[in-house]
Amino acid sequence: MMSSENQSNLGMVRRAALGSAVGTAIEAYDFQIYGVASALVFSAVFFSGTPEALGVVFSFATLAVGFLARPFGAVIFGHLGDKIGRKNLLVASLMGAGGCTTVMGILPTHAQVGVWAPVLLVALRLLQGTFHGGEQGGAVLMAVEHAPAERRGWYGSWAFLGSPGGTLLASSIMGLVISATGKDFLVWGWRIPFILSFLLLAVGLIIRLTVTESPAFQKLQEGHGKAKTPIVEVFRRSWRLVLVAVGVNLGFNAFIWFIISYSLAYGTEFLKIDKNFMLTSTQIGSVAMMLAILAFARLSDRIGRMKVMLAGALFLAFYPFPMFGLLNTAEEPLVMAAILVGFVGASAVFGPLAAFLVEMFPTKVAFSGVSVGYSLGAVLGGGLTPFIASLLMQTSHGQSWTVALYLTAGGAITLASLLALRNMRSGRPGALTEGFEPADMPSPEAYLP
């Protein structure tokens, strides 16, 4: 029978994981709503003075701007998170990001204020990206650092459940709004999902405020082991690990952001598929991804992160061309199958990723290391992918193999980064175990040459 203390500890572990999931879901909702709107709305609302195809390119460029700001937020929030704690910084990042999304919903359009409309949109995207730069790394840390060592993969994956959860919520709400507002969607209906972010923000804050500070950080405080300048130390002593984190996340982000964002524009603009069908496919894929994340995360607790993630990286490198083969049939069952398989296969990287990243860095610089590594990978992969994909399709006059090759290159980077880390670990005695499950957070000098 479990003691009351153990029950309390387990309850806090689950609450921390749930809080991370909800916070990440809100972050994902913010970004996915923007991504869907970039594909379906913004070219007409904020770039109405440009040709439609070019307006889509400009819309995805503003999406990329938000990602470009993430590393700055990662540096700021990561440094402060390693200095003063995880919890307060996560509350601030959630409030800032959610507030920006709400304000986007009341912005004037190009028809109302001209060039000031896209200027204001870009400014808010920069600010939102800054807040999001600290959100993901902190959410991952709270989930993993509260979890027992043998279940870090499982509880850490809860943080990333928020990403497909946010995608599902965003696409579902956008689909309902499109159906309900009809011709008024481009007039005022598109604003509703943005304004609803305020309600989600309130729910997230209630949950996050009930979670205690990370036990690993509390232990660090008691032992006076905090780094004086965490962001400097992570680059000075752990830069190889940061590069690995960037590379692993780059290929995954490139692939998944193609599916959740640009595939909508590709399906509607080039394949002439109904937008509601594309949104429905994304919703089904998001549900499948949530289940796959949990399955692959639990598998990584049993057989090791590296084995599972290497399989996922191989999928990312080899699937893009078959995926486009299915998409280009423009037959709805095959299109849905292409998207569904993509969501599930990519989860082999995404499921174990939370524990994988946290276990790479020592606690005193973990917020900085995880945030910077994840954010840079998100920028170079996810942030630029919809924009680059739309640009490739325009300049190649609709040759989809150009985008497939781009996604394959991203998967190859993820694969090469994992192999590089494996070589680092095997280069010295005392390297990390195959399962990345040491009794305490590892120190990079234990296995880096």
For the segment 301-319, the average pLDDT, to the nearest whole number, is 94
In a domain, 3, yes or no: no
In a domain, 7, yes or no: no
Among 11-20, 262-271, 283-292, 351-360, the least confident range:
11-20
How many structural domains compose the chain? 1
pLDDT (average), residues 105-125: 86
Specify the pLDDT at position 314: 97
* Model pLDDT, residue 430: 34
Residue with more model confidence, 236 or 258: 258
Tell me the three-class secondary structure of 366-398, residue by residue: HHHHHHHHHHHHHHHHHHCHHHHHHHHHHHCCC
Rounded to an integer, what distance in angstroms lies between the CA atom of residue 420 and that of residue 241? Answer: 10
Please determine, for residue 432, whether its predicted confidence score (pLDDT) is greater than 60: no
Q: 297 pLDDT exceeds 60? A: yes
- Is residue 289 within 8 Å of residue 347, measured between CB atoms? yes
Predicted confidence at residue 2, as pLDDT, reads: 40
Cα angle at 283 between 159 and 316, to 5 degrees? 65
Q: What's the pLDDT tens digit per position in 197-243?
A: 888 888 878 877 877 777 777 776 666 666 677 888 888 888 888 99
What contacts 119, CB < 8 A, 6 or more positions away? none
Domain assignment present for residue 220? The answer is: no
- pLDDT confidence tier of residue 291, bands split at 50, 70 and 90: very high
Q: Could you tell me if residue 116 is inside a domain?
A: yes
Task: State pLDDT tens for residues 44-86.
Answer: 787 776 666 666 677 767 777 777 788 888 888 888 888 877 7
Is residue 439 very low, low, confident or very high in pLDDT (cuts 50, 70, 90)? very low
Q: What pLDDT was estimated at residue 283? A: 84
Structural domain boundaries enclosing 417: 13-212+228-446
Q: Looking at residue 224, what is its pLDDT? A: 60
pLDDT of residue 71: 85
Q: What is the pLDDT of residue 429?
A: 33
Q: pLDDT of 171-199, one tens digit each?
A: 788 888 888 988 888 788 889 999 988 88
More confident residue, 256 or 206: 256
Establish if 362 belongs to a structural domain.
Answer: yes
**What are the DSSP calls for 161-200, one per residue?**
HHHHHHHHHHHHHHHHHHHHHGGGIIIIITHHHHHTHHHH
Closest CA to 173 of 29, 8, 44: 29
> Residue 345 is part of a domain; what is its CATH number?
1.20.1250.20
> Cβ–Cβ contacts within 10 Å for residue 114, how many?
12
- Is 170 or 339 the better-scoring residue by pLDDT? 339
- Does the residue 284 lie in any domain? yes
Which of 73-77, 198-202, 306-310, 444-448 has maximum average pLDDT?
A: 306-310
389, 390, 395, 397: CA torsion to nearest 10: 100
Whether residue 219 is contained in a domain is answered as: no
Task: Give domain status of residue 4, yes or no.
Answer: no
pLDDT value of position 46: 79
What would the DSSP string read from start to end of 409-435?
HHHHHHHHHHHHHHHHHHTSTTPPPTT
Number of residues that this document lists for the chain: 449
25-34, 68-77, 112-121, 412-421 — which one is most confidently predicted on average?
Answer: 412-421
